[in-house]
Structure 1
């Protein structure tokens, strides 16, 4: 009996797309799961095409992401028009074309993701594999490697293991049996010492001031918490704070927002049982920006230049409470 589900027919369709004379770019919104997935897809198509590159649309500042790129030698570059122009065909992993404005102008041939489908249905591409029940996109790519009889080398296995670890938050977020199987399988080949080095690089000393600001601005809304951070130098600090607040006893969800350049960024976290954070993000900001995600984790990005005058914190509070005059309890 096979360890993973059989994907023979699906992978035949994928492999048939790769031509020796073509240059492929794998597009990502860089985080551990997408970086690992891009590494795996690069390994799969590497000997089938002329060249494979990895391009990220976001600015990478989180220290664990930078450590992952450094220790695992991930060759990703910022996805600017000059880079895109060098490639013939495009794949996207751990994301979908509607998730970021930089993706919208690209004609993708391959879409591999574990986030929910958009309301309009799956993206029309020659190859689409979207499985929202999976806790990690790295699990899907691990299954690909296994079915193709490719044993992951140390750095690739380490990246995929860390991708599963972070996207499932060490199996505290929703996951399925396949995620556990992939994690167990990868431990045979991964370097756990590198995992420790990466996980110890999560916080920068300068970021500690954000914790102080977040505590001061913290509000209690029902069983959840909300904090607005004002202008931030790095939107990844919002993610760190949102993850942190989910450790508070009897808190079932939290939202942390901040303004990066001219964009309001809202991070959602939940316990996966009560509120669906993906639906919550979409209902709040789907009409004015990009918004969506999983039941336990979601994100919204809103371009503030579309509004003449607006208080970003007041906007989020109104959406959260559904009433501008509802009293909010501030935690002292």
Structure 2
């Protein structure tokens, strides 16, 4: 790790202004904060910008309680920066990401082809990118502040689902190290901020619309949603039901069909399933226990006569169950 840290530092000079771009969630926020700390006093300035809408109550609580300095991407002039970094993601993961050439890419998702950057460090075996960033901190002999430690600590809890999902020994080591520095009471407040009055209606809709297949798979299509995070929250909620091994929740947002997949992690691979079922239509992939697809509605028009909710719901089930309406895809889901 010391060698990787040296190579990372060598990318930058004191006169650099660094833009760190993320799709804001606990892991990316904590990772960006850590990179910013690693570069402190080694560059002129840095800024963290996010491309998505932060609407999940726990994510809003994270930013508010820890006073994390974030800026919306649309409010920043990227031409004013001399270096670009992306953490907890890769350029192909979003159209906005793909617009830029990066100097640094640090991630834990499966490696996408065609990556180019002076510094690339990707470890899919890690359950959380924050675990990897914690290793950089330790290699730099930087003791994290309570704020930074709390952000990293919470991010590891979230991305490993309290170590119930795929994890590595490195995740455990990072979590144990951060335990001494994190403000656990503050982390608990963030964890309890899961629901708002506005989100309750989506839970009601999901419960009324859900379809259970073979007593182990739940499907729910929410129609138009105010944020893709609602699909994530409800997919995670359904996984709490006894005997359910798969949860597939979808919704429409900003002209895209969002499909969120969750499973119990036992001899399953949500990432491969999402890729096989939907990648021919839009970005799709993820980890063994959690994955996502984002399909532009215009790409569905060649397959579906209409994009009303019932047709879309049927389309998703057929793709997942290996009876696709599109290309010949057959994916084992058991």
TM-score range normalised by the length of the shorter chain: over 0.9
Deviation readout 1:196-232 (Å, 9 max, x if unpaired): 1111211102211211211121112343211111111
Following TM superposition, by how much is the alpha carbon of 1:101 offset from its aligned partner in structure 2, in angstroms?
A: 0.5
The equivalent position to 2:151 in structure 1, one of 154, 159, 167, is 159
Q: Which residue of 1 aligns with 2:224?
A: 231
SS in 2 for 1:101: coil
Structure 1 distance, partners of 2:3, 2:69, is 30
Structure 2 distance, partners of 1:256, 1:99, is 20
Deviates more, 1:47-56 or 1:310-319: 310-319
CA contact (8 A) 1:139 1:179 kept: yes
Following TM superposition, by how much is the alpha carbon of 1:324 offset from its aligned partner in structure 2, in angstroms?
A: 6.7
SS in 2 for 1:80: helix
Q: Which residue of 1 aligns with 2:5?
A: 11
Q: Which residue of 1 aligns with 2:331?
A: none
Q: Which residue of 2 aligns with 1:85?
A: 79
The 5 Å alignment of 1:187-198 reads: 187-198=179-190
Q: Which residue of 1 aligns with 2:168?
A: 176
Structure 1 distance, partners of 2:168, 2:137, is 19
CA contact (8 A) 2:281 2:300 kept: no
Structure 2 distance, partners of 1:243, 1:302, is 21
Deviation readout 1:104-126 (Å, 9 max, x if unpaired): 010011010011112x26x1111
Q: Which residue of 2 aligns with 1:205?
A: 197
Structure 2 distance, partners of 1:200, 1:99, is 29
Deviation readout 1:120-142 (Å, 9 max, x if unpaired): 26x11111110001010000000
Residue segments in structure 2 that go unaligned for 5+ positions in a row: 326-334
Return closer, same or farther for 1:170/1:305 CA change in 2, 3 Å cut-off: same
**Does 2:21 align with 1:27?**
yes
CA contact (8 A) 2:315 2:324 kept: no
The equivalent position to 2:289 in structure 1, one of 293, 296, 303, is 296
Q: Which residue of 2 aligns with 1:315?
A: 315
Q: Which residue of 1 aligns with 2:245?
A: 252
CA contact (8 A) 2:58 2:193 kept: yes
Following TM superposition, by how much is the alpha carbon of 1:30 offset from its aligned partner in structure 2, in angstroms?
A: 0.4
Following TM superposition, the consecutive aligned residue runs of length 4 or more in structure 1 with deviations greater than 3 angstroms are 306-309
Structure 1 distance, partners of 2:324, 2:17, is 52
Q: Which residue of 2 aligns with 1:42?
A: 36
The 5 Å alignment of 1:38-187 reads: 38-80=32-74, 82-118=76-112, 120=113, 123-187=115-179
Following TM superposition, by how much is the alpha carbon of 1:82 offset from its aligned partner in structure 2, in angstroms?
A: 4.2
SS in 2 for 1:108: coil
Under a length normalisation based on structure 1, what TM-score does the superposition of the two structures give? Answer: 0.92
CA contact (8 A) 2:127 2:160 kept: yes
Q: Which residue of 2 aligns with 1:330?
A: none
Structure 2 distance, partners of 1:11, 1:203, is 39
CA contact (8 A) 1:226 1:255 kept: yes
SS in 2 for 1:24: strand
SS in 2 for 1:323: coil
For this pair of structures, how many residues does the alignment match?
317
CA contact (8 A) 1:252 1:274 kept: no
Structure 1 distance, partners of 2:19, 2:290, is 27
CA contact (8 A) 1:233 1:260 kept: yes
Q: Which residue of 1 aligns with 2:266?
A: 273
Following TM superposition, by how much is the alpha carbon of 1:81 offset from its aligned partner in structure 2, in angstroms?
A: 7.4
> RMSD of aligned C-alpha atoms?
1.5
Return closer, same or farther for 1:200/1:81 CA change in 2, 3 Å cut-off: closer
Structure 2 distance, partners of 1:244, 1:173, is 15
Q: Which residue of 1 aligns with 2:332?
A: none
Q: Which residue of 1 aligns with 2:328?
A: none
Q: Which residue of 2 aligns with 1:328?
A: none
Under a length normalisation based on structure 2, what TM-score does the superposition of the two structures give? Answer: 0.92
Structure 1 distance, partners of 2:324, 2:66, is 48
